[in-house]
C-alpha cells in the first residue's frame, strides 16, 4: 500500500513537472519566433536600408533555400501533430533523438514567413521528452506507459490555450482529419485527472511566463458576441462560406501534392519554389504569409480599411499557401493559418452585411474547421481559444454544416 502511494505521488510530481516544462517550451518557442520575425523582417532590413514592397519575395526566397537545405539534411522533420500522435498511439512512445532538430525545423519556416502553425514541432519535442523521462523511470513502467499522451495533452493546451481541446485530443486519438473508424475509448477517471493536472501545469507555466516576461503568443480572444435577427439569418450562409474555404484547403492539398510528386525528390528545389510562390503572393496579399496569430490582432484594427474584397480573397488564397508550404517541405501545423482564414472571411462578410463581426468570425471559422477536420465537436472545442463559451451554439451548428460538405476521399489521404 505504501509503495503504491509513493508511486502515485511520484507520478503526480512528474506530471506537474512535465506540464510546467511543456508550457515553458511553448513559451520559449513563441518568444523566439516573435522576436526572430521582428529581427528578420524589421530590424535587419531597416539597419541595412533594404526595405521595400518586394521584401517578402526576398525573405521568403532565402527562407526557401534554408528550409530546403534543412530538409535535405533532416528529411521529414519535424513530424506533423497527427504523425506524432499516431506513433505514440502505436508504440506507446516517441523517439527523442531528434527533438532538438524538430524544434529548429519548426521554427525556421515560421521565421521566414511560412504559412504554417507552430504545433507540429512542439508536439514532437514534448512527446519525446516524456518518453525520455519514462525510459529513466522503468520501475514505474505501468504507471508511465501513457506519459507521452499526457505530454501531448499538455503541449496542445499550451499552444492553443484551449484546455478542453487538449483533453479531447488524447481521448479521440486524432486532431486533424477524420477518425477513419477509430473507436473512442474514454480513459478512466484517474487518467483524466492526470491529463487535467498536466494541462493545468502547462497552462499555468505558459501564462506565468507570459505575464512575467511577455511574448506568450497565440491567437486573440474575442470576449463578446451579439446574436440578433440579422446574425441568425446569416448563420447558414456564413457557415457555407467557411465550408468553401475548408473545401479549398483539401482541393489545394491535392494540387500541391501533385506538383510535389512531379518535382520529385529534390528538397531544395521544392522548398525554393514554395518560398518564391509564398513571397510573390505576400507582396500582393501580405496576410497570406505567417501563421496568423499576430496578423489576426492586426486585422482587428484595420479590417474596415481593408475592404471586403481583400479580406475574402485573403481567406481564399491563404489555404493554398499553407498546402503549398506543407507539400514542398516547409514543415508545420495547419490550425493557426486556417483559423486566420475564417477570421479574415468573417470580417469580409461582416463588412458586407453589417452583422456583428464576432458572430461572423465564429460562424465562418467553425465552418472552415468543420470541413477541414471533419469533426465538429473537436472543431468547437478548439475554437474556444478564440471565442466565448456563449457562442457554442453558433460554433457547433456551423462546424456541423462544414463537416457534412462532401470532400473526395482521395483529397483526405
Residue-wise pLDDT tens digits, 353-401: 999 999 999 999 999 999 999 989 989 988 988 898 889 999 999 999 9
Q: pTM for the full model?
A: 0.90
CA separation (Å) from 87 to 49, 173, 375?
47, 11, 21
> Residues 344, 311: contact at Cβ < 8 Å?
yes
> Residues 338, 306: contact at Cβ < 8 Å?
no
Which tops the pLDDT comparison, 265 or 18? 265
Biggest CA–CA distance in the chain, Å, is 70
Of 302, 404, 402, 385, give the one whose Cα is nearest residue 344.
302
Which tops the pLDDT comparison, 112 or 179? 112
The secondary structure of residue 325, as a DSSP letter, is H
Using N-to-C axis directions, what is the helix angle for 2-38 and 119-135, rounded to 10°? 150
Burial of 19 (0-12, 13-18, 19+ CB in 10 A): buried
| Cα–Cα distance measured from residue 407 to residue 10, given in angstroms and rounded to the nearest whole number | 47
Set of cell numbers at residue 4: 503504491
Instruction: State the number of CA atoms in the 13 A half-sphere of 235 facing the CB.
Output: 18
Burial of 21 (0-12, 13-18, 19+ CB in 10 A): buried
Which tops the pLDDT comparison, 275 or 173? 275
Using N-to-C axis directions, what is the helix angle for 308-327 and 293-306, rounded to 10°? 150
Percent of residues in the chain assigned helix, strand, coil, to nearest 5? 75, 0, 25
> Residues 85, 297: contact at Cβ < 8 Å?
no
Tell me which CATH code domain 229-412 carries: 1.10.3080.10
pLDDT digits (tens, 9 = 90+) for 229-254: 999 999 999 999 999 999 999 999 99
Whether residue 179 has pLDDT greater than 60? no
Q: What is the pLDDT of residue 178?
A: 42
| Cα–Cα distance measured from residue 68 to residue 361, given in angstroms and rounded to the nearest whole number | 35
> Residues 240, 367: contact at Cβ < 8 Å?
yes
Q: How many CB atoms lie within 10 A of CB 42?
A: 12
| Sequence ranges of the chain with CATH classification 1.10.3080.10 | 2-213, 229-412
Confidence of residue 181 (pLDDT cuts 50, 70, 90): very low
Of 130, 116, 18, give the one whose Cα is nearest residue 84.
130
Whether residue 173 has pLDDT greater than 60? no
Q: What is the pLDDT of residue 177?
A: 44
Which tops the pLDDT comparison, 148 or 208? 208
Tell me which CATH code domain 2-213 carries: 1.10.3080.10
| Cα–Cα distance measured from residue 285 to residue 311, given in angstroms and rounded to the nearest whole number | 9
3-state secondary structure of 117: strand
> Residues 364, 241: contact at Cβ < 8 Å?
yes
Amino acid at each position: 500500500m505504501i509503495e503504491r502511494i509513493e508511486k502515485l505521488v511520484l507520478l503526480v510530481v512528474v506530471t506537474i513537472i512535465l506540464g510546467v516544462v511543456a508550457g515553458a517550451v511553448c513559451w520559449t518557442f513563441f518568444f523566439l519566433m516573435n522576436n526572430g520575425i521582428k529581427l528578420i523582417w524589421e530590424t535587419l532590413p531597416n539597419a541595412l536600408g533594404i526595405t521595400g514592397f518586394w521584401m517578402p519575395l526576398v525573405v521568403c526566397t532565402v527562407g526557401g533555400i534554408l528550409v530546403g537545405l534543412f530538409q535535405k539534411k533532416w528529411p521529414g522533420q519535424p513530424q506533423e501533430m497527427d504523425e506524432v500522435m499516431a506513433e505514440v498511439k502505436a508504440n506507446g512512445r516517441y523517439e527523442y533523438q531528434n527533438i532538438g532538430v524538430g524544434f529548429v525545423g519548426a521554427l525556421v519556416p515560421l521565421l521566414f514567413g511560412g504559412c504554417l502553425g507552430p504545433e507540429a514541432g512542439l508536439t514532437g519535442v514534448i512527446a519525446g521528452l516524456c518518453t525520455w523521462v519514462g525510459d529513466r523511470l522503468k520501475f514505474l513502467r505501468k504507471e508511465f506507459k501513457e506519459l507521452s499522451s499526457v505530454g501531448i495533452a499538455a503541449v496542445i493546451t499550451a499552444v492553443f490555450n484551449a484546455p478542453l481541446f487538449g483533453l479531447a485530443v488524447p481521448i479521440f486519438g486524432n486532431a486533424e482529419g477524420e477518425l477513419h473508424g477509430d473507436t473512442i475509448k474514454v480513459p478512466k477517471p484517474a487518467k483524466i485527472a492526470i491529463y487535467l493536472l498536466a494541462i493545468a501545469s502547462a497552462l499555468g507555466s505558459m501564462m506565468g511566463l507570459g505575464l512575467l516576461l511577455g511574448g506568450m503568443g497565440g491567437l486573440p480572444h474575442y470576449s463578446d458576441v451579439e446574436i440578433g435577427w440579422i446574425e441568425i439569418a446569416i448563420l447558414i450562409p456564413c457557415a457555407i462560406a467557411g465550408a468553401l474555404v475548408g473545401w479549398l484547403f483539401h482541393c489545394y492539398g491535392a494540387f500541391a501534392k501533385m506538383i510535389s510528386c512531379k518535382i520529385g525528390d529534390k528538397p531544395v528545389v521544392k522548398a525554393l519554389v514554395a518560398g518564391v510562390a509564398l513571397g510573390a503572393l505576400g507582396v500582393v496579399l501580405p496576410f497570406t504569409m505567417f501563421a496568423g496569430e499576430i496578423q489576426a490582432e492586426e486585422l482587428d484594427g484595420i479590417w474596415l480599411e481593408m475592404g471586403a474584397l481583400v479580406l475574402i480573397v485573403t481567406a481564399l488564397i491563404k489555404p493554398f499557401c499553407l498546402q503549398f508550404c506543407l507539400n514542398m517541405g516547409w514543415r508545420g501545423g495547419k490550425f493557426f493559418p486556417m483559423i486566420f482564414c475564417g477570421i479574415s472571411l468573417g470580417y469580409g462578410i461582416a463588412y458586407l452585411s453589417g452583422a456583428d463581426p464576432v458572430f461572423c468570425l465564429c460562424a465562418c471559422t467553425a465552418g472552415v474547421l468543420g470541413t477541414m477536420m471533419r469533426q465538429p465537436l473537436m472543431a468547437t472545442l478548439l475554437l474556444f481559444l478564440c471565442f466565448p463559451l456563449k457562442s457554442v451554439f453558433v460554433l457547433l451548428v456551423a462546424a456541423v454544416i462544414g463537416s457534412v460538405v462532401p470532400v473526395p476521399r482521395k483529397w483526405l489521404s
